[in-house]
Structure formats: C-alpha cells, structure tokens
Structure 1
C-alpha cells in the first residue's frame, strides 16, 4: 500500500523509525538499456525545508557514474521482517562541493538523524579524500 500525505511531517517520525531500525537500503538504478541494477548501502537522511533529503557517501564506480549520467532517477527500498517497508523515489545528483562533503561526513558520524549512519573514516581518510564522492537525493515529485 502506498501512503500519500500532504507533507512529509505527517510521516517523518515513522520514516525515521523504520529507516533507523533497518539501516541498509537497496538502491536501484537503470542502465542505458533500461535494465535495473541493485546495490545495498547505507544512506543518511535529513529534513530540509519540510522534505526528506538523502545523502550517500560512496565510491564513484563506473557503473554508478554511467547509470546516473543516463538517468538520475533512483529508488531506495528498505525492508526487514516484522517492519513495514519504506520506498523512496529520488532524483540523484553528484556533488563535489567541499561543504557538502563535510556536512555528509558529520551526518554519518553522528549516526544520522535516523540512526543509520557510521564512521566514514573506515573507508576514507577525511571529507577531502578524492575517492569520497557524495550523492545527493531529493525525493522525486
């Protein structure tokens, strides 16, 4: 069942609880031939101007780069036994802005507002590490 609400605030606490309890999301992108590709990862979310804004600290793999260059639409799906599922349709964009990278580093470090983050230092030296790229995901409308 899909839940439609007038604004995110109506489901924000429930969203945070589910995403925080589940942690891992399946991200779906599509290639140039419209074939889906999934990967399991840990995004973090915050609310900006009353809407969810997701962030993903990741490595810029050729597959992710190609898929999102061809089609920036992605889906993030959370599911666990005994917990309702959460699906987020999003438009993703890469950001190399140093302030964004530092912000995302801190969001993950604080375990994110939803409780799903982790210490990015396990994979990258710092927010300035050139191997760290940040994917910004706003909900599609």
Structure 2
C-alpha cells in the first residue's frame, strides 16, 4: 500500500540514503512509437527551495536526443538487492550555458564523497567546456521510495504535477 506524502522532506532522508546505497540509475525514455529504451548512468540530485532537482552529465547520443525531443519525460529507477527502490518521474531539459555546466561539474565533484557523484574529467577531458559534455536538468514531478523489508511505499508529487 502506497502512502502519499505532502512534502518531499518527509521522504528526503530515505531518498538520499537509498541513492547513496545504490548509486546507479536506470534511465528510461520512449521513442516516437512509444517503445521504451533504458540505459544505466549516474545522476546527481539536490534539494532546492521548491523541491528536489536532478542533473545528468551525459553524451547527447542520437537515440537519447531523439527520444527526449519527442517526449521530454524520463524515469530514473534505482534498485538494491535488499529490495530498496526509488522511482523518479521527471521532465527533462537540455541546458547549454557554460555557467550551468560548471555548476553541474562542481556538483558531481561535491557529491563524490557520498557515493553519488564522480569525476566527470574521466569522460570529458576538456572540463565543463568540453563540446561532448551535455547536461540535462531533471525536474521531478513524482518520486516513490520503497523500503524492501516490508515494501512500505511513500510517494511525493510536485505541487504542479497533474
């Protein structure tokens, strides 16, 4: 049985603990015919005044770009063998300005000690200005956390989610 919570702060601790435990997410998008495609990656998340927000440093592959151009919604799924899970439904947006890329670069660096970020320089040798580095802003509209030992499920929805 799922319980809806009115504020993200009510699941934030569990959300952060599970993401630190799991680290890798499966990102799923859909093509123009509604067929899903999944890939494994590491996104970073932060808490802002208006709620949680995620960032994804990524390559802008033709498949990912086409899927998101057609439908900007993506789901990020985290799962551990202990059956702890997090599902994050988002609306994505490509962000191109260098200031945001620098911010996201630093956010990944700051997140590294907690096990969620990593050194982006391992993939993008040119730093935040590397032309192969692309950034997706991840705007969650629904987040579900599930505790494996008893399958307790709690769901947060953004105030503007329909």
Question: Contact 2:74–2:90 at 8 Å: present in 1 too?
Answer: yes
Question: Contact 1:44–1:114 at 8 Å: present in 2 too?
Answer: no
Displacement of 1:85 in angstroms is 0.4
Question: Contact 1:16–1:113 at 8 Å: present in 2 too?
Answer: no
Structure 1 window deviating more from structure 2 (2-11 vs 75-84): it is: 2-11
The answer as to 2:135 corresponding to 1:134 is yes
Instruction: State the match for 1:39 in structure 2.
Output: 39
CA separation in 2, counterparts of 1:47 and 1:124? 26
Two-structure CA RMSD over aligned residues (Å): 1.4
CA separation in 1, counterparts of 2:50 and 2:11? 11
CA separation in 2, counterparts of 1:42 and 1:59? 12
Question: Contact 1:17–1:114 at 8 Å: present in 2 too?
Answer: no
Unaligned runs of 5+ in 2: 142-160
Structure 1 window deviating more from structure 2 (89-98 vs 110-119): it is: 110-119
Question: Contact 2:112–2:119 at 8 Å: present in 1 too?
Answer: no
Instruction: State the match for 1:103 in structure 2.
Output: 103
Unaligned runs of 5+ in 1: none
* Number of residue pairs matched by the alignment: 141
Which structure 2 residues correspond to residues 26-65 of structure 1 after superposition, within 5 A? 26-65=26-65
Q: Secondary structure at the match of 1:131?
A: coil
With the length of structure 2 as denominator, give the TM-score of the two structures: 0.83
Moved over 6 A (4+): none
Displacement of 1:116 in angstroms is 0.6
Structure number, greater radius of gyration: 2
Residue 105 to residue 3, structure 1, CA distance change in 2 (3 Å): farther
Instruction: State the match for 1:123 in structure 2.
Output: 123
